[in-house]
Amino acid sequence: MRRHVLTGIAALALTGAALTAQTQINGAGATFPNPIYTKWFSEYNKLHRDVLINYQSVGSGAGIQQMIKKTVFFAPGKILHFPTVLGAVVPVYNVPGVSQELKFSGDVLANIILGKVTKWNDAQIAKLNLGVNLPSTDITVVHRSDGSGTTYIWVDYLSKVSPEFKKTVGVATSVKWPAGVGGKGNEGVAGLVSQTPGSIGYVELIYALQTKIAYGTVQNMNGKFVKASTDAVTAAAASAASKMPPDFRVSITNAPGDDVYPISSFTWLLLYQDAQDKKQAKTMVDFLKWALTDGQKFAPDLGYAPLPKPVIEMEMKALDQIKTQ
């Protein structure tokens, strides 16, 4: 059985098995894009019954590790990044007695994580939420326990708005948290916040929508409080689309603009430029071309924003670099 390895950041790590009548690809990786990837794989299979893609959302850290362990043996060589959709990370909370939508600034979120703001009625939170009867409940911070692309986006944003956070916690898929409790995957964080009065955490937007957890607006670079939405995420990508680097690796957190949601990001799929199994490589190139075109229409209903057309055009050309024969 020959295998082909790919990864994505927030990571998608795939191994493929070429069967007699069917190409089967088994994957494991990030929870951030899991809802849209699951939808795509299902829809693509309806069009291509000979291709079956299975995916387990175990976190991008685990996905990256799977790729690292298999890289040298299975497919050494250059790896190319391809954005697939845009998403948002939102601050979710469970505050007893509060039904209003709360407002957060980057500084306040950073100070909560750093343990400088420990109660919900702290003056820093109250100043942003005039008229809201905030309780004196202790704040419990919920973070990811596993390596995570969602964590990277969250801390990348907080590091841009808080020098102290950047110095103390830093930017990585896995960081040393000053305090709090950990949950595995976006699902784990969402579950802990739902079950823990006084808690605050961070998840990809679709997980907040699916579990009906309260999530707040966040103050952007222009001083506007914006709630995460597909339009607000698209606005964050607008400036990046015109300055997209050839390797597509760009951060769009804390982007300028009145309508921008500041904790937004692309999510990437990684492909080997010269994989050993060319049939598997061709299958993934064909799938990605579909995902970048027809597949984009499924994004908004799942809380993701479609890619800007200029980025898609760049990617379609870049896919020609993948050797499929």
The pLDDT profile of the chain, 325 residues, written as one tens digit per residue, is 333 333 344 444 444 544 445 777 766 677 888 899 999 999 999 999 999 888 777 766 666 666 555 543 233 567 788 999 999 999 999 999 999 999 999 999 999 999 999 999 999 999 999 999 999 999 999 999 998 889 999 999 999 999 999 999 999 999 999 999 999 999 999 999 999 999 999 999 999 999 999 999 999 999 999 999 999 999 999 878 878 999 999 999 999 999 999 999 999 888 888 888 788 889 989 999 999 999 999 999 999 999 999 999 999 999 999 999 8
Beta strands in the chain (DSSP E): 5-9, 12-18, 23-29, 51-57, 79-94, 103-104, 140-144, 181-183, 199-204, 214-215, 217-219, 225-226, 264-272
pLDDT of residue 234: 94
pLDDT of residue 279: 84
Q: Which domains does the chain have, with CATH numbers?
A: 5-86+265-321 (3.40.190.10), 87-241 (3.40.190.10)
pLDDT of residue 240: 82
At residue 28, the 3 state secondary structure works out as strand
pLDDT of residue 6: 37
pTM of the model: 0.88
